[in-house]
Structure 1
Amino acid sequence: MRRPPPRPETGLTTLEWLLIVAAVAALAAIAVVVVQDVIGDTAQQIDNHNARQHAAELAAAEVATAAESDTPTSAQHAEQINERRRKRCDSLAILYQDVIETIAYTPGTPDTSGTAWTHPPECNIRQLK
């Protein structure tokens, strides 16, 4: 019986090339998904931090604005307003401790009659993290 001559094995068949190309494409697709996921998580963390900083700044401005609009009726009332606003300002340091490094309250100075502010109270964020 005669045997057919052996096929030359100098290269890969079409099916083998297709399998190699498919494997490389699958690895590339996985790499793209992983990189996009990491980039997305990082961007979200940065956005959340910036949003918290902005919220802290707005809250501090609200404390000062509320104090300005809270006109004292006497020197004693001015002291009460200052104490209430100081506590609110200090609470921001706790509420936003992840973004506020230092916060300071400057009490308002009532006029001589105690019925208006010569210098309104201020809540200032000195340093953000």
Structure 2
Amino acid sequence: MAAAPFFIGFPRNIIQADALEIHLKSEGRGIDNVVYIDVDHHILIERLTGRWVCASCGETFHLISNPPKIIDRCDSCNEALIQREDDREETVKERLRVNDELTKQLEIYYGERGNFKKINGLKNINDVAKDILSVLKK
């Protein structure tokens, strides 16, 4: 069976997984591996809530990886930085909770088929990439 292309963040639930499987089978293809990059919630929350955007020019900053020179002002136009609703901690925590529920279902679904692979996402990006490529080459 020919391998399917990459689907990042899809399927998100069992209904989508079933539909994808039916569609791929109709084309004589299948799924070789499902790769899940596992990262602790506290790190994801830090990464996802650190983004701030300029209300005027749209310039994006991250409090850890790309901080503005002045904490609440845009480096480009000196206007106020805002945090989008979907970057707020409460919103991020709820998204992660829902994602965990869906991922557990998909882990069982694909685990029963023997093609669910979990990768440690806490390593440096080069090691994570090597781990993913190793899984995909098998």
- Normalised TM-score (structure 1): 0.27
Name the structure, 1 or 2, with higher relative contact order (CA <8 Å, separation 6+).
Answer: 2
Larger proportion of helix? 1
- Normalised TM-score (structure 2): 0.26
